[in-house]
């Protein structure tokens, strides 16, 4: 039994982090839009109805499969730290919020570039539903009301956030209507003038001037030079499929290294959800994260090649390092040379077989907890994703991009998509995606069944957090192997909020959405 029915369709399917976003995507497909039209429409609605997770002041990564060329392209819609950044301002650590914690927002440019490459209906159409919900409002969900209440003090301290989320000096509650007129106006400018409005037009001027008044560093030049990065994705062979992931600055290479190490183990013979399989996957995760922490950084600023982490010889050496018992500390491999997060994920497949795997975020709950005056733009807090250790490859520097937890995944069978999947969840992303991949590929679970399975989550040392639905005998066996098991709730949001679509060779699509958050899959 699953928590909800698997959604099956033949003409198109959208699985997103909010029902209104899924509806916008379906409407776009019904009007003749492509998977990209639907993905951007859904993503734009998410930026309105999930302000605690994403906004037009955030970042975006996407994998896009073009059914005509049968190729996958990776889009990096993340921005850099201001080129005029004063490093001395962070000598005492990162502030908890405010305009100074933002990097240049990349969402709007990425939406525009996606539409230019594969959209059919135009950016103005893609933003129509988002504009409607910003201008006329939408009903606040239990989740959003809870997030507003949990961050009430911070929201009250910023005039823009207080006006939007705490009108009449009180938190918006469940079922009340959230209206964001300034955000609607900004979206209308973008719909009319394209991304130019956000990065070089009058909206850009208001953004830069407002950020300066708030004490932030992003200026007009920072906005004007921003550009989406299009790159060939990374990929690895896994059980007869080819799994694609985001190249740096995304940590998509972590998922691919996990799968590459796992490819040399016979996971299909290990009981799904059993202690042996969980132990091996957790220890593989530790190896891949150790390599990330040692080497990953912005390739424009440091010598980092994620391909080296996927080199067969390097992978074999890492596989040989897998321990029989839980490890406390894992060293990075030697190269041949040289908190719940606030994010949302969506997957779309259209009738032609085009597919989009897309994730966008403001990093922390409500990002910088700062709305730039006269713009409606809620800023991200992605700057705090840098390290303040100057020796780190992810060290904070002007004009540099931080390493992102954001990543999206897609698996192809020969030259056609088989699975499109992903999840929000900061450090949990590549752990949950690893669990989804093994459930779907090694054990043949259906998409909703795979999403519903109990999850584990690891941060550091021997402590292993596990949803309470894991059987006691599994938890006990892991303790015997040296893991310090700590129980999470039965459905723990810290493990993410996944969406997934499976494409059957017969042409039938199957979609699932995570009950841990408020996602919904729908198709026709």
**Angle of the 128-136 helix axis to the 35-49 helix axis, nearest 10:** 20
What is the chain's alpha carbon radius of gyration, rounded to the nearest angstrom?
22
Residue ranges with strand state E in 274-431: 342-350, 355-363, 371-372, 377-378, 409-413, 416-422
Does residue 214 contact residue 379 with C-beta atoms inside 8 Å?
A: no
Q: Write down the catalytic residue from 54, 101, 343, 495.
A: 343
H/E element, 457: strand 456-458
| Percent helix, strand and coil across the chain, each to the nearest 5 | 40, 20, 40
Say how far apart CA 422 and CA 469 lie, in whole Å.
22
Say how far apart CA 215 and CA 370 lie, in whole Å.
11
Indicate the burial class of 491 (C-beta count within 10 angstroms; 0-12, 13-18, 19 or more): middle
Positive or negative, the CA dihedral 391, 394, 395, 398 is: positive
3-state secondary structure of 16: strand
Say how far apart CA 498 and CA 407 lie, in whole Å.
12
Mark whether 375 is an active-site residue: no
Strand partners, 177: 139
Tell me which residues are annotated as active site.
343
């Amino acid at each position: 039994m699953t928590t909800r029915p698997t959604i099956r369709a033949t003409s198109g399917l959208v699985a997103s982090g909010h029902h209104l976003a899924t509806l916008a995507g379906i409407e776009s497909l019904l009007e003749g839009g492509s998977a990209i039209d639907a993905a951007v429409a859904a993503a734009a609605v998410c930026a309105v109805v999930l302000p605690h997770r994403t906004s037009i002041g955030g970042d975006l990564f996407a994998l896009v499969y073009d059914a005509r060329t049968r190729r996958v392209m990776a889009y990096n819609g993340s921005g850099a730290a201001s080129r005029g950044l004063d490093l001395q301002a962070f000598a005492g650590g990162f502030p908890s919020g405010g305009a100074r914690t933002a990097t240049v927002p990349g969402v709007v440019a990425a939406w525009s570039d996606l539409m230019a490459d594969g959209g059919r209906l135009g950016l103005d159409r893609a933003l129509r539903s988002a504009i409607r919900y910003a201008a006329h409002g939408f009903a606040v969900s239990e989740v959003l009301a809870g997030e507003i209440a949990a961050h009430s003090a911070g929201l009250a301290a910023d005039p823009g956030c207080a006006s939007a989320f705490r009108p009449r000096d009180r938190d918006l509650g469940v079922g009340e209507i959230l209206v964001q007129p300034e955000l609607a106006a900004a979206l209308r400018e973008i719909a009319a003038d394209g991304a130019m409005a956000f990065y070089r037009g009058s909206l850009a001027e208001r953004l830069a001037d407002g950020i300066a008044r708030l004490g932030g560093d992003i200026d007009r030049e920072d906005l004007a030079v921003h550009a989406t990065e299009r790159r060939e994705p990374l990929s690895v062979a896994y059980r007869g499929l080819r799994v694609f992931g985001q190249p740096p600055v995304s940590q998509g290479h972590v998922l691919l290294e996990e799968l590459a190490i796992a490819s040399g183990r016979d996971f299909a013979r290990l009981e799904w959800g059993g202690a042996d399989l969980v132990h091996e996957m957790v220890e593989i995760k530790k190896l891949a994260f150790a390599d990330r922490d040692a080497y990953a950084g912005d390739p424009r600023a440091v010598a980092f090649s994620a391909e080296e982490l996927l080199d067969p010889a390097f992978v074999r050496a890492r596989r040989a390092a897998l321990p029989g018992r839980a490890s406390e500390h894992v060293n990075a491999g030697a190269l041949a040379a040289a908190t719940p997060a606030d994010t949302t994920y969506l997957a779309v497949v259209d009738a032609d077989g085009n597919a989009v795997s897309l994730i966008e975020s403001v990093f922390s709950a409500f990002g910088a907890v700062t709305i730039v005056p006269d713009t409606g733009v809620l800023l991200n807090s992605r700057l705090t994703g840098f390290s303040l250790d100057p020796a780190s490859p992810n060290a904070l520097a002007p004009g540099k991009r931080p390493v992102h937890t954001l990543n999206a995944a897609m698996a192809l069978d020969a030259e056609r998509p088989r699975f499109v999947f992903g999840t929000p969840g900061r450090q949990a992303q590549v752990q949950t995606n690893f669990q989804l991949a093994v459930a779907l590929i090694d054990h043949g679970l259906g998409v909703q069944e795979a999403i519903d399975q109990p999850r584990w989550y690891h941060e550091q040392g021997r402590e292993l957090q596990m949803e309470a639905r894991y059987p006691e005998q599994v938890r006990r066996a892991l303790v015997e192997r040296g893991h310090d098991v700590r129980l999470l709730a039965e459905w723990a949001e810290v493990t993410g909020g996944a969406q997934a679509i499976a494409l059957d060779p017969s042409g039938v699509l199957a979609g699932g959405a995570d009950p841990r958050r408020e996602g919904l899959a729908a198709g026709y």
